[in-house]
Chain A
Amino acid sequence: MNFLHIFALARKEFLALMRDKRSRIIIIVPPILQLFIFGFAATYDLNDVPVAVYNEDSGGASREMLARIEGSPHFSVLHEISNDDEIAPLIDNRKVLLVIRLDQRFSANLQRGDPAPLQLIIDGRNSNTAMTALNYLRDVVLDFNREWQREHGQTGPPVKLEMRAWYNENLQSQWFIVPGIVGSLMLVVTLLVTTLSVAREREQGTFDQLLVTPLRPVEILIGKAIPGIVIGLLEATLIILLMVWFFDIPLRGSIPALYLGILLFLVATVGVGLMISSICVTQQQAILGAFLFIVPAVILSGFTTPIANMPEVVQWLTYLDPLRYFLVIVRGVTLEGDGFALLLHQFWPMAIIGAVTLVLAAWLFRHRMS
C-alpha cells in the first residue's frame, strides 16, 4: 500500500468536490437549513391546544378549575359553548382538539364531597396528540384536587407519586430530537458524497482511467473513503456547535467518546456508501440506492419513534443500522453525560459494520473489475 497514492487520490476527490459550486452548496446549505427548520418543527410538545368549554355550572369551583386550565401554557380556550349540538362540528372540523364539559352540579357535588366529573371529548385522529393533551390535563386536575383537599381540610389520597425525570428534566422534545438530527444529517451527507463520487466517475467513464493508473484497488477504495469521512467530521463539528450554542442542548459527557463514536459511525456509513456504489453503474441508481438505505436507516434508528415499540422481528433488523448505535452515543454524551464505559456496547457493533462493509466493497470492486 502506498500512502502517497492514497493521499493524491483523496486530494483529487476534494478538489473535484469543492470546485463544483453545486456540490459545495449541497454539502453545506441544506443540512444547516434542515437543522433549523426541523429543530423547531419536530416536537411532540403541545402548546396552546385549542379547547372549547361547555360550562353548565355557575359555581365558583368550576370557574376555579377552568382558570387553571386556561392558565396552563398547554391549553388555550377558544370557544365557550352552551349546547350539546355545538360539540360535533367543533371537533369534526378540527376547530378544537378537546371539549371540556362541566355539568350543572359540578360545584355543588364538589362542596358536598360527591364525585364531580370533568367530562372530556377529545379528537383522537392523531392519537399521540390526544394522549399528550390528556396527560397534561391530568396534571392540572391532580393539582386542583390536591389544593382543594388542603383548603377544605380533607385528607388526600393515601399514596402520592413523586415524579422526577432524569437527564431531560423538563421533558422537552427538542432535547431529544435535535441530537438525533445530528446523526441523520451526517448519514445523508456522508452517504451521498461517497456514493456519488464513484458513480459519477463510472458514468463519465473516468473510473476506467483510474484503473489503468498504478493505483491498486484497495488504494482507490481508501482514497474514495477519505473525503466522506473528513467532510462528515467537519459537518458533525459544525452541527454540534450549532446544537450547543443555538439550541442550548447540554454537552454533559465525554467529548473524546463522542468523537470516537462519530469516527466509527462515519467509517460504517462510508463502508455502506462504497458498497452501494460498487453495485450501481449510473448516478441515478446510486441516488436511489442511497435513498433506499437512508429511509429505513432513519426510521429504524429510534430517531423519532422508540425501537422498543417495534415488533420483535423489526427490532432485530435495527441491529444492522449504524445510526441506531450512533444516536445512543449522541444522546448519551449530550444529555446523560456518558463516557467510554457506558457506551462500549455502541462502539463495537459500528466497528464491525464498518469492517464488514469495507471488505465487501473491496471484494465487489475487484470482482467487478476482473
Chain B
Amino acid sequence: MRASLRRLWGMIRKESLQILRDPSSISIAFIMPVVLLLLFGYGVSLDAKNIPLGIVIEQPDTAAQSLAGAFDRSEFFHPQRFAAIQEAQQALIERRIDGILWLRNDFSSRLLSGDEAPIGVFVNGVDSNQANITKGYIQGTWLAWLQHFSAARGRALDLPVSMEQRVWFNPALSSHLFLVPGLIAIIMTMIGSLLTAMVVAREWERGTMEALMVTPLRMGEMLIGKLIPYFMLGMGGMLLSVAMALFLFNVPLLSPIWLLMLCSALFMLVSLAIGLLISIVTRNQFLAGQVALVVSFLPSFLLSGFLFDIHSMPGWVQTITYLVPARYFVAILQTLFLAGPVWPVVLANAGAMLFMLLILATLVVKKSYKRLD
C-alpha cells in the first residue's frame, strides 16, 4: 500500500512537472477559459437592440407621427425614415435595414373613421430567430401605442384577452444569463477531453508510454497519476470561469458553491475519462484532436441545450443528446446559477453523469492493459 502510494506520488509529480514545463498546457487551462469566456460572453448574444428599422409615412399627420414616435423612443429600434416604400424595400434588399413599417396615405383617415387601419410590416426572415424577436418587439410597441392612443382619446383599449406574463429566474430575459453558465461546460469539455486526449496521445506517439510501462508502476496507478494533475488544471479553469461569470458578467449564483464544485468535479472526471479513452484508442495526436473535436467539443456546443433547446430537436437527435455528458451538466449549471439548488434536477442529472463515468472508467481500464503493439 505504502509502496503504491509512493509510486503514485512519483507519477503525479512527474506529470505536474511536465504540465508546468510545457507552457501550452498551462495556457490552454488558464488563458483559453479567459479568452473563450470573453469571446462567448460578449460575442454570443441573442438580445436584439437598435434593430435598424425603415419607417415609411406616406401622409405625415399627427396619428402617423405619434406611432412612428413610439418606435423612435423604443430602445429596441433604430428607425430611419424613407420617403417611399420602394426606397425602403431597396434598403431591405441591400441589408441596410432589417424591417420596414409602412403607413400608407389612408392610414389616418381610416383610423379616424373607425375602420381598421392596416400597417404593412416587412421583416428580413433570413435569420428566423432574429426575425421572430423583431416581430415580437414590433407587436409590443404597437400594443403599447394602441393603449396610449385609446387612453388619450378618453376610452380604454378594447382587447378581449391580454397576456400578463411573469418570467421566473431571468425576468429581463437577457441571454447572457443562460449562455455564460453553459459556457463553463464547454470550457471544461475542452480542457478535459481535447487537451487530455492530445497530450496522452502524444506520449503514445513518442513512445514515452512504453518507457513508463517498464517501470514497476501498475496500470491503475499510472492512469490515476496521469489524471490528477489534469483534474486540478481543469478545476482551476472552472473556478476562473465561475469567478468571471460572477464578477464580470454579473450572473447570480443562487446555490452554495460547494454543490457547484461537486457537480463540476463529476463532470470533469467524465470529460477526462473521454479524453483518456480517445487517446488510448487513437494513439495518434492528429486523430485524437479530430475525434475529440467531433465527439466532445461540437456536441457539447450544439447538442447540450447550451444554445439550442433540446426539446425541439427531432426524436432521434434527442436520443443522441442523452449520450452527451454536457447535456446533464448544462442543465445543472443553468439551474444552480439561476434557480437555486432544485434537488430533483441536480440529482437526476448528476446520477446520469455518475453512470456515464462508471461505464467510461470500465472501458478505459479494459482498453489500457499494459501492452506493446
Contact = CB atoms under 8 A, between A and B. Distances in A.
Interface string A71-109: 000000000000000000001111001000000000000
Interface stretch (A210-218, A260-268, A297-305): A297-305
B277 interface: no
A37 B168 contact: no
B301 to A, nearest CB: 9
B309 to A, nearest CB: 5
A40 B170 contact: no
Interface stretch (B13-21, B43-51, B225-233, B257-265): B43-51
B313 A122 contact: no
Contacts of A60: none
A354 to B, nearest CB: 23
Nearest to A148: B160
Contacts of A155: 114, 116, 158
B122 interface: yes
Contacts of B121: 161-164
A243 interface: no
Contacts of A348: none
Interface residues of A, number: 101
A137 B163 contact: yes
Contacts, number: 305
Contacts of B312: 43, 45-48
A135 B133 contact: yes
B51 to A, nearest CB: 8
A145 B48 CA distance: 28
A130 B149 contact: no
B46 A127 contact: yes
B28 A288 contact: yes
Contacts of B52: 308
Interface string B37-77: 00110111111111110000000000000010000000000
A164 to B, nearest CB: 5
B165 A308 contact: no
Contact of A145 (B36, B42, B161, B294): B161
A309 B45 contact: yes
B294 A129 contact: no
Nearest to A199: B286
Contacts of A291: 194, 289, 293
B239 interface: no
A284 interface: yes
A127 B298 CA distance: 22
B294 A171 contact: no
B241 interface: no
Nearest to A181: B302
Contact of A161 (B50, B138, B290, B339): B138
B171 A166 contact: no
Contacts of A167: 124-126
A123 B168 contact: yes
Interface in A110-135: 110, 113, 115-132, 134-135
A335 interface: yes
A305 B125 contact: no
Contacts of B198: 284, 287
A149 interface: yes
Contact of B160 (A44, A149, A196): A149
B24 A285 contact: yes
Contacts of A352: none
A157 B177 CA distance: 36
Contacts of B128: 44-45, 165, 168, 171-173, 175-176
Contacts of A171: 125, 128, 131-132
Contacts of B40: 299
A44 B130 CA distance: 10
Contact of B303 (A37, A126, A132, A310): A37
B170 A125 contact: yes
A173 B48 CA distance: 17
B119 A113 contact: no
Contacts of A296: 39, 43
Interface stretch (B3-11, B213-221, B330-338, B357-365): B330-338
A8 interface: no
Interface string A24-61: 00100010011001101111111111100000000000
Contacts of B119: 159-162
Nearest to B92: A166
Kindly list the 7 A-B residue pairs having the minimum CB-CB distance in the complex, ordered from nearest. Answer: A165-B125, A124-B170, A168-B125, A44-B129, A171-B128, A124-B167, A309-B45
13 contacts: A34-B294, A49-B311, A125-B335, A132-B129, A135-B132, A135-B135, A141-B163, A156-B158, A172-B128, A176-B127, A283-B285, A300-B43, A331-B126
Given A37-B320, A161-B121, A166-B92, 17 more contacts: A43-B312, A118-B163, A127-B47, A130-B170, A132-B132, A135-B139, A155-B158, A156-B158, A157-B146, A159-B119, A160-B118, A162-B120, A166-B123, A167-B125, A176-B126, A284-B24, A309-B45
Interface of A: 22, 26, 30, 33-34, 37-38, 40-50, 65, 91-94, 97, 110, 113, 115-132, 134-135, 137-138, 141-142, 144-145, 148-149, 154-169, 171-173, 175-176, 192, 196, 200, 283-285, 287-288, 291, 295-296, 299-300, 304-306, 308-311, 314, 328, 331, 335-336, 342
